[in-house]
Amino acid sequence: MAGLPRALPALPPLALYVHVPWCVRKCPYCDFNSHGVGRDAELPEEEYLAALLDDLDADLPLAAGRPLGSIFIGGGTPSLMSARFYSRFLDALSQRLSFAENIEITLEANPGTLERGRFHGYRQAGINRLSLGVQSFQATQLAALGRIHSGDDAVAAVEEARAAGFDNLNLDLMHGLPDQTPELALADLERALALEPEHLSWYQLTLEPNTEFHTRPPALPEEETLWDIQDLGHERLEAAGLSRYEISAYAQAGRRSRHNLNYWRFGDYLGIGAGSHGKLSAFDDSGWLRIERRWKTRQPEAYLRRRRDPRGFVAGSHWVCDEELPLEFAMNALRLVEGAAMTDWQAHTGRPLSLLGERLEAARNKGLLVEDGQRLQASPQGLLFLNELLALVNDTGTE
């Protein structure tokens, strides 16, 4: 773990990720740590709340007194938990950590009728940003994706969220769906835009390992159709005033996701809850910055049992070595349309700029990087072929 001194003057900003692992039904494309429990299951709210706080208490020394800039509650389907659960959680959290002014607190929710009616309570609890997993408005597409809501349910959920006082709303929408045409993809976008979301996550369906779709792949659109969907959709979103700032994220001015920006700018984050991941930095006695990645017990039942286990909630951890830092930093920063300043590269990786010369030139020659000597910034082509760009930029050598 011997390493290079970093030029960072202080520790990175800090965020918190909270994972709620339960959902009504596991979707066939989902590779997240989610566990279907059916519609009528009674979730262990009291026990899970206690476990989350114990988990957090064990991690508090890692926070080093830094305020939280954002909180993201993901899943699973976090909106299966009651408003009272989140009110108590956020109250307890505020007693343990300071909140930055205008902190962003996001809750993921599904637009099915099971969760509607709770939005007012979530807003009263202190949640100020809602992310709705719409995915599509088309009945046939929703059925293919295993979703339990309809397009009308999604519209009603947005209306209820607005009535509850949410003025910062993200819609998750997928494209490249089974048998989807450009016309169907644009129809989804038009219906989403009519709801005037402040933020839209518009991403292509991929077949991930350990999912039902990976085992039994559906018939996906041809590559040429996928390119058409992407080009036409990007053009439509930009025309509607939602500017692309990350590979699959579009936002109104001033409404970019602060929590996700913290990830992509290589900020730190605590992770609590079953299967959550965290990234924490600390200066050692020599003044070098060390980065630790840690993850928590994945299975909900095992996670709850860890409350009474002297090992605690951590299932594993990894100290990021110096050879890994260039790729770690690049695979986050290059997702952003704005990229990162070259000075940020050196500050976060400890690698002198001279080591990147030939690699950057090769990437520019392939049209994957913007011609800018001050920034490490993917071109529109580079955003489409990010893995190829990362392979070129990644430096594991030494002077």
Question: pLDDT per residue over 205-254, tens digit each?
Answer: 999 999 999 999 999 999 999 999 999 999 999 999 999 999 999 999 99
From the list 151, 123, 146, 126, the residue with the least C-alpha distance to 136 is 151
CATH code, 193: 3.20.20.70
Q: Are 171 and 254 members of one domain?
A: yes
Tell me what pLDDT residue 128 has: 98
Tell me what pLDDT residue 247 has: 95
- Whether the pLDDT of residue 396 is over 70: the answer is no
185 vs 381: CA distance, rounded Å: 21
In this prediction, residues 93-112 reach a mean pLDDT of: 95
Q: Are 242 and 111 members of one domain?
A: yes
Decide: helix, strand or coil at residue 22. strand
From the list 207, 210, 115, the residue with the least C-alpha distance to 164 is 115
Burial class (CB in 10 A: 0-12, 13-18, 19+), 44: middle
Show which of 262, 281, 302 is a domain's final residue. Answer: 262
- State the DSSP code for 374: T
- 299: in domain: no
Can you read off the two tokens belonging to residue 350?
């400890």
- Whether the pLDDT of residue 338 is over 70: the answer is yes
- When the pLDDT of each residue in the chain is averaged and rounded to a whole number, the result is 91
Show which of 262, 290, 315 is a domain's final residue. Answer: 262
Tell me what pLDDT residue 115 has: 61
304 vs 249: CA distance, rounded Å: 34
Q: Are 193 and 341 members of one domain?
A: no
- Whether the pLDDT of residue 263 is over 70: the answer is yes
Tell me what pLDDT residue 99 has: 97
- 254: in domain: yes
Burial class (CB in 10 A: 0-12, 13-18, 19+), 322: middle
From the list 150, 216, 204, 209, the residue with the least C-alpha distance to 180 is 204
Tell me what pLDDT residue 289 has: 82
- Whether the pLDDT of residue 347 is over 90: the answer is no
- Whether the pLDDT of residue 383 is over 80: the answer is yes
Q: Are 243 and 359 members of one domain?
A: no
* Percentage of the chain exceeding pLDDT 70: 95
- Whether the pLDDT of residue 76 is over 60: the answer is yes
- Whether the pLDDT of residue 3 is over 50: the answer is no
Q: Are 30 and 177 members of one domain?
A: yes
- Whether the pLDDT of residue 86 is over 90: the answer is yes
DSSP run (H or E) holding 234: helix 223-239
pLDDT range class, residue 399, cuts 50, 70, 90: very low
From the list 237, 104, 231, the residue with the least C-alpha distance to 166 is 104
- 118: in domain: yes
Can you read off the two tokens belonging to residue 185?
């993809």
- Whether the pLDDT of residue 398 is over 50: the answer is no
Tell me what pLDDT residue 5 has: 52
In this prediction, residues 260-283 reach a mean pLDDT of: 96
Highest mean pLDDT among 112-121, 269-278, 360-369: 269-278
Decide: helix, strand or coil at residue 55. helix
124 vs 128: CA distance, rounded Å: 9
Name which residue leads in pLDDT, 262 or 392: 262
Tell me what pLDDT residue 2 has: 46
DSSP run (H or E) holding 381: helix 380-384
- Whether the pLDDT of residue 40 is over 90: the answer is no
- 6: in domain: no
- Give residue-wise pLDDT tens across range 294-312: 999 999 999 999 999 988 9
Q: Are 229 and 329 members of one domain?
A: no
Q: Are 183 and 332 members of one domain?
A: no
- Partnered with residue 319 across adjacent β-strands are 292
Range of the domain at 338: 325-393
- Whether the pLDDT of residue 369 is over 50: the answer is yes
Strand ranges in 180-228 using DSSP code E only, listed in sequence order: 199-204
- 109: in domain: yes
Question: In this structure, are residues 269 and 81 in contact, taking their beta carbons and an 8 Å threshold?
Answer: no
Q: Are 73 and 219 members of one domain?
A: yes
* Percentage of the chain exceeding pLDDT 90: 76
Question: In the chain, how many domains are there?
Answer: 2
Nearest-10 Cα torsion for 246, 252, 254, 255: -70
Show which of 237, 262, 287 is a domain's final residue. Answer: 262
- Whether the pLDDT of residue 30 is over 50: the answer is yes
Q: Are 356 and 234 members of one domain?
A: no
Name which residue leads in pLDDT, 376 or 193: 193
Q: Picking from 65-74, 231-240, 351-360, which range would have the lowest pLDDT averaged per residue?
A: 351-360
* Ordered DSSP codes for 70-89: EEEEEES-GGGS-HHHHHHH
From the list 271, 267, 268, the residue with the least C-alpha distance to 298 is 271
